[in-house]
A and B are shown apart, each in its own frame.
Chain A
Amino acid sequence: SQQGEEDPQALSIQEGENATMNCSYKTSINNLQWYRQNSGRGLVHLILIRSNEREKHSGRLRVTLDTSKKSSSLLITASRAADTASYFCATDQAGTALIFGKGTTLSVSS
């Protein structure tokens, strides 16, 4: 399978805590993207990090990329109930289309 793997599969935290999700992939990439999917909805793009970047920030999101380990992490700081969703990493390792992992389901309780 060309899919990446997210870890953990599910994560439950309290509002205000930080949430960290990890993604591993198999072959070399040019960039990696993170998407969010609310229950029953389509995917929404969060952030893109290029292979020559090590860290990127967007609001409460922080993404890191370690190409030597073929892994990335997504950190959501000061989480809110509205952050409850599934989070997917996607890579261009297939060449013509984004390849998605199985996702991490985040549940934030108030």
Chain B
Amino acid sequence: NAGVMQNPRHLVRRRGQEARLRCSPMKGHSHVYWYRQLPEEGLKFMVYLQKENIIDESGMPKERFSAEFPKEGPSILRIQQVVRGDSAAYFCASSSTGRLNTEAFFGQGTRLTVV
């Protein structure tokens, strides 16, 4: 049973380009969470999705950022017109229940560098 898969592991984008980060949850998991981690910082919650639904996007910046989790395929975090401040590690986690009394399984992250 493969764990949470994120790709790419590393992504370099020039300012103004778009970044697409993918996350395939663990088999059987339909709840996905995206977090952002700046250097030497903890993880900041961005968005929580269930298949085809955004449940909580309170941590998402209002502009340029969007997320989806379609019926088929991975969850996508999309950042349009990237700026240097978007450089960070983006982690995806999945869980089977969506209840917070069970562990979340994390991917290895995508490290985005904006040059």
Contact = CB atoms under 8 A, between A and B. Distances in A.
B69 interface: no
Contacts, number: 59
Interface string B34-47: 01000001111100
Nearest to A44: B106
B103 A33 contact: yes
A100 B35 contact: yes
Contacts of A50: 101
Interface size class of A (residues with CB under 8 A): 20 to 34
Interface of A: 3, 30-31, 33, 35, 41-45, 48, 50, 88, 92, 94, 96-103
22 contacts: A30-B100, A30-B101, A33-B103, A42-B91, A42-B106, A42-B107, A43-B93, A44-B106, A45-B105, A48-B101, A88-B42, A88-B43, A96-B100, A97-B33, A97-B48, A97-B56, A100-B35, A100-B42, A100-B43, A100-B45, A101-B42, A103-B42
Interface of B: 4, 33, 35, 41-45, 48, 55-56, 58-59, 91, 93, 100-109
